[in-house]
Structure 1
């Protein structure tokens, strides 16, 4: 039997050993470890990536030429997505504004095709079209692919085209890119097209938003003018997103979002997914770093709270990224910096994925509430669309057809009056010959 003093000394010694054993792993559990552990439990949903654009530029969409596990000359491949704990990637279907009123729809189809191929031909990827599929994909340890169209010019001012893109798996669309459409206004002045006064979202533009709500397609306001964004926020029945935009207060670039518009976004219960492009972070290509990016997160949290923030890297669509965030594998560095700034793990779990899941779920809930609403049959007027390449459905002129086709064409497409007129014209031409 130990004496009372010896027993007390032994108990104190054991307590001291336990204390030091507990302190040792805590002192060795760095912010880097915390970031990786957190992202293992709450892997990232990234709002914007232009890999499909680079596949067209570098490889003409020939997937057989590359291995998506390791792709050179880009910042995104399967290995780096996995290293960066990216569990869901919104892949942008981007068609340059020069295709507007030309072959934008065909090019959009081709970009959807290459995303569908890469996300179905590679077992590490999984194409998803619902929030439940996205959640199931996480359980299967897959990288979920969500298809997003970047730029409303891709639908050529056609609601049927919008619906067909939805059938192909598109679940988000930004209303504009760097050019105005006939029905919405861009934040960019690069293209002097479809200029309007005090009409940043036309009646047809509102019909586009309504149809996206009905379909369950997420409305994306990145690249839209502030007036278009405000009009959309007031009109949409569902939450919207800025898939890759940052804080205008920190960097006064027109692609970023001012505080007053962030307040409107909060009322909408939407989401701003912070862009990492250096020019939108520090307003300079050369000086951006991880700390500058974190400044955007801090400011937006101060204005509207962490419940309305996500991440939209814009890799492959921009030319320069902050030091330390050069590719998709570096996302843990950003989370590490936010932990250092005393963001809680609960706040970061929201930023990493829970906020986007909430928005997607609410978009689907609005869709379900509108299930009895018929597809919209609103058409844009020829005066608004101003496209000389659009076919006007009327009988062709007989003078423009060979003599053996003119009458049959009128019979097939024309009225009796037009048929009589065509017959008379044909007889006169024969007579004067």
Structure 2
């Protein structure tokens, strides 16, 4: 299915993005590089077109108007303990290797000021986000180490529960956050690491919003009222974002945005497992299996308009100051028509322009809200670090020990 964008609106969108580029909340390029070439960047030189293998490369990021990218340093949630920590460190190393390899194109960003500086000198700000609390192996010291290495958000869970928080796609165990989970959120606030609530259960979302003293992020989640998938955000949670100051970044994953795609994706995932592959696998072998299944069973196709439907609703419920964009490129086998890869953001902005969104509102969506979010977390952390010590709570503690009291 082809998506035909209004060329006049696309040109307006490109002009807007030149002034207010996209801060995208989630891109899985590092994991794709691990899976496809074991981090051999000579074999996947993203300075040139890699559209045969990836959703992401530098020319297409430029074409898409991307000014800042949170690179996901994701590792699968079936890794645990030291194995999860080591794999996360390798993912961080990959992002740093990309920044070092392409210094004229990318700049590592640790703060909102760094993001602004990258834009000023024509580079794409590169931020890091850890996807899943299993990456810290129930250790607040490891959380602090990830922060020191540049990680600026952590998604509290991935697809499976962690011992201290429930995932959206697992059976409830903690029914939100445990005592230790609440301490993780508080320590993230103290550090200045954004609490990412994509992937978590609604109860975990509500608990985190209750505990967090800093704005939260949903790095790649859409509206559950528009598409009833557990990975999306219920309206009562969106309604609470203004009081928190957080930002919900709509994702493009078809099975999260198009109701008709949910059942189809479930069957396609079963087919992948039958071939001994993970549904999240994006290697050429996996894409061949997915392509064959799609040829035999045509999939419902989301479009840029489908994503715009979510943003319309999220703006209505949470307000224009609390929404953003998190495409999840290279973390999904399928993408919407018009948003096939990272060059597609102008099509989404053109769709929203056609629906009457003002340029001022679109500037908030693409750039300003994310920068305010980063600054908000930094401001909270400055205050907390002045009065609070690093937490030494362990997950085996049901209550903080006297030594951990502040």
Q: Name the TM-score class by shorter chain.
A: 0.7 to 0.9
Shift of 1:377: 0.8
Hey, what's the Cα distance between the residues in 2 that align with 1:68 and 1:60?
A: 14
- Counterpart CA distance in 2 for 1:78 and 1:277 is 21
CA shift digits 1:284-338 (9 cap, x unpaired): 1522111111111111111122111100000011111111110000100000000
TM superposition shift of 1:202? 0.7
Higher relative contact order (CA 8 A, sep 6+): 2
- CA displacement at 1:383 relative to structure 2: 9.7
Q: Which residue among 3, 8, 23 is the counterpart of 1:30?
A: 8
Of residues 220, 224, 231, the one that matches 1:244 is 220
Distance 2:166 2:324 in 1: 24
Which of 97, 105, 112 is the equivalent residue of 2:92?
Answer: 112
Distance 1:159 1:197 in 2: 19
User: Does 1:78 pair with 2:78?
Assistant: no
Pick which of 147-156 and 297-306 moved more.
Answer: 297-306
> What is the CA distance between 1:120 and its match in structure 2?
2.0
- Within 2, Cα distance between the matches of 1:235 and 1:54? 34
**Cα distance in structure 2, aligned partners of 1:197 and 1:44:** 36
User: In structure 2, what is the Cα distance between the partners aligned to 1:29 and 1:86?
Assistant: 20
Per-residue CA deviation, residues 359-417 of structure 1 (Å, 9 max, x unaligned), is 11010000111122111111111899xxxxxxxxxxxxxxxxxxxxxxxxxxxxxxxxx
Match of 2:390 among 351, 361, 375: 375
Please say if 1:177 is aligned against 2:158.
yes
Where in structure 2 are there 5+ consecutive unaligned residues? Answer: 1-5, 262-298, 400-406
Q: Take 1:382 and 1:208, find their aligned partners in 2: how far apart are those partners?
A: 13
Name the SS for the 2:26 alignment partner: strand
Q: Structure 2 matches for 1:225-240, cutoff 5 A?
A: 225-240=201-216
| Number of equivalenced pairs | 352
CA–CA distance in 1 between the matches of 2:220 and 2:174?
27
Structure 1 counterpart of 2:110: 129
Q: Which residue number corresponds to residue 74 of structure 2?
A: 94
Give, in whole Å, the separation in 1 of the partners of 2:37 and 2:70. Answer: 21
Corresponding residue number in structure 2 for 1:220:
196
Quote the offset at 1:197 in angstroms: 5.1
Is 1:148 aligned to residue 163 of structure 2? Answer: no
Mapped to 1, the partners of 2:180 and 2:340 lie a distance apart of: 40
Question: How far is the alpha carbon of 1:265 from its aligned partner?
Answer: 1.8
The C-alpha deviation readout for 1:222-271, integer Å capped at 9, x for no partner, is 00000001000010000001000001111000000111110112221100
Q: Give the match's secondary structure for 1:322.
A: coil
Structure-1 residue corresponding to 2:319: 305
C-alpha separation between the residues in 2 aligned to 1:245 and 1:59?
A: 28
Q: Which runs of 5+ in 1 are unaligned?
A: 1-27, 385-433
What's 1:266 paired with? 242
Matches within 5 A, 1:296-375: 296-372=310-386, 373-375=388-390
The residue aligned with 2:286 is: none
- Is it true that 1:167 corresponds to 2:145 in the alignment? no
**1:56-95 Cα shifts (integer Å, max 9, x gaps):** 0000111232311122311100000000010100000111
Query: After TM superposition, what 4+ stretches of structure 1 lie above 4 angstroms from structure 2?
Result: none
Structure 1 residue matching 2:81: 3-state secondary structure: coil
Partners of 2:33 and 2:44 within 8 A in 1: no
Equivalents in 1 of 2:100, 2:394: separation in Å?
35
Change in Cα spacing, 1:164 to 1:197, as seen in structure 2 (3 Å) is closer
Normalised by the length of structure 1, the TM-score is: 0.79
Task: Name the SS of the counterpart of 1:164 in structure 2.
Answer: helix
Q: Is the 8 A contact 2:23 2:325 kept in 1?
A: yes
Shift of 1:30: 2.1
2:307 corresponds to which of 293, 297, 301: 293
SS at match of 1:362: helix
For 1:204-225, what per-residue CA distance to the aligned partner results, in whole angstroms no more than 9, with x for missing partners?
1111111110111011000000
Per-residue CA deviations over 1:36-61 (Å, capped at 9, x if unaligned) read: 11000001100000000100000011
CA distance in 2, matches of 1:58, 1:196: 35
The CA RMSD over aligned residues, in Å, is 1.6
DSSP-derived class of the 1:63 partner: coil
